[in-house]
Amino acid sequence: MVNLCFFFYTGVQTMAEVILEVPGKLYFGSDVLNLVGSIASEYGNRALLLADYNLHEGKYIERVIDLLHGKGIQCILIDDFGSYGSSRTVTEMVEFARSSHIEILISMGGSSTLNAGRSIASRYRTSPRHTEAEHSVYLEILSVFRFPFLLRNAFIEMDPGEQRLKMYPLPPNLYKGTLIDPGIMAGLSTKYTGTLLMDTLLQALEGFISSEGNFMSETLFRGALLHGGDGLNEALRGEKSLKPRVKATQSGVLSALGYSIIRMGPAVALSYTLNRQFGIPKSWIGTVLLPHLADTYEESHPELLAEAAKLIGEDTFGLSPQEAASSFSSRIRRTLAGLGLPTRLRDFDLKLTRLVEAAEEAAGLESTQAFQVPLSVDSLYDFLKRAF
């Protein structure tokens, strides 16, 4: 684990300290998937691989299993957890890991799979009087551009008693690292790539305008907006190489670094609560919320929105600060129309009256270590009504 604490004295006034905590190693780049066997072999020889079924396309799951076998690691694959029709539960998965004497748990997929993997690994690690569990480790392989919890020693999950999302910490020394290989994302369709990029930009923009921002987080989120905009431009041009995916993953990594310094905001919180309550993919929700988030801050943060617009590729020369600020959401809406992506929450057949429940749940995340939701339930509901 790396902990960095920065404290500066200008001679006139002090600036708040910046604390950056990175709990595990981050392996990022083309073909880093080939390292999974070598990395896992440091921790044991019995692995449980929890993977998204669609990763069989492209043979990525088979590749991981072959790499593990090549290092003498026995691997049990679960590729239907959380899929439609699956009856598997986290409790059953933990018991399965116990009976199989698992030493390494690996999750491979998108945000939902990674959250599930962290939950299973955490509960398994704390199994009483179980030798393998006590020394078990957790690794993950990201198959989408962004995961805001990437560099946080935590995960988000529904509390069965309270029936709402809550944050949970990972046990010490459980999480060992994440592999991010843009090659895994090469087969994504243009439309799905667009939704992932919009959700990535939502996280980057909200971090950039956060009241908790500091020199380091702002620098990271500037980079996230710049790379996200580049990836979006290349994807829209029909770029067939890995370049758009590399840019997009760079944006996601920079956002995750930013969110290891500051807390996530209300729009990200709402995307999680809407996903949990209505089963809508988080990336689709982020796609809809992004332009409305920009609209919300045009008057209060015109300079930041104008800079964000320029970072994602808008020509703001000669425009007033207000006009430049408005160009961010205008650019996003043009892109949504061009890709045929949803622009309103009503496109998901939601009932407006049900949205207050999502606002209440999002407001409840304020008390956690990872979220800053400085808005009332009424304000969150008003935001959702505008996006409806």
For residue 244 the two structure tokens come to 């758009």
Q: What is the mean pLDDT of residues 20-46?
A: 91
Residue 241: what pLDDT?
Answer: 73
What pTM did the predictor assign?
Answer: 0.89
Residue 209: what pLDDT?
Answer: 95
- Closest by alpha carbon to 201, among 314, 57, 109? 314
- Closest by alpha carbon to 46, among 141, 142, 172, 137? 137
> From 1.10.760.10, 1.20.58.100, 1.10.287.610, 1.20.1090.10, which CATH number describes the 190-387 domain?
1.20.1090.10
Residue 200: what pLDDT?
Answer: 95
C-alpha 218/C-alpha 262 separation (Å) is 10
pLDDT at 339 over 80: yes
Q: What is the mean pLDDT of residues 327-354?
A: 93
C-alpha 121/C-alpha 119 separation (Å) is 6
Residue 160: what pLDDT?
Answer: 77
Q: What is the mean pLDDT of residues 333-338?
A: 93
pLDDT at 13 over 50: no
The answer to whether 258 touches 251, Cβ cutoff 8 Å, is: no
- In which band, very low, low, confident or very high, does the pLDDT at 237 lie, cut at 50, 70 and 90? confident
Element (H, E) at 364: helix 355-364
The answer to whether 319 touches 327, Cβ cutoff 8 Å, is: yes
Three-state DSSP class for 45? Answer: coil
Residue 244: what pLDDT?
Answer: 83
Q: What is the mean pLDDT of residues 91-116?
A: 94
Amino acid at 202: L
List, for residues 273-332, the tens digit of each pLDDT value: 999 999 899 999 999 999 999 999 998 999 999 999 999 999 999 999 899 999 999 999
Q: What is the mean pLDDT of residues 14-31?
A: 75
List, for residues 182-215, the tens digit of each pLDDT value: 989 877 778 888 899 999 999 999 999 999 999 9
87: left (phi over 0), alpha (psi -120 to 50) or beta: alpha
Residue 3: what pLDDT?
Answer: 40
pLDDT at 4 over 50: no
List, for residues 75-90, the tens digit of each pLDDT value: 999 998 866 556 678 8
Q: Tell me the Cα Rg of the chain.
A: 21
Q: What is the mean pLDDT of residues 256-268?
A: 94
- In which band, very low, low, confident or very high, does the pLDDT at 223 lie, cut at 50, 70 and 90? very high
| CATH numeric code, 25-180 | 3.40.50.1970
Domain ranges of the chain: 25-180, 190-387
Residue 2: what pLDDT?
Answer: 43
Averaged confidence pLDDT in the chain: 89
Better-scored residue on pLDDT, 208 or 161: 208
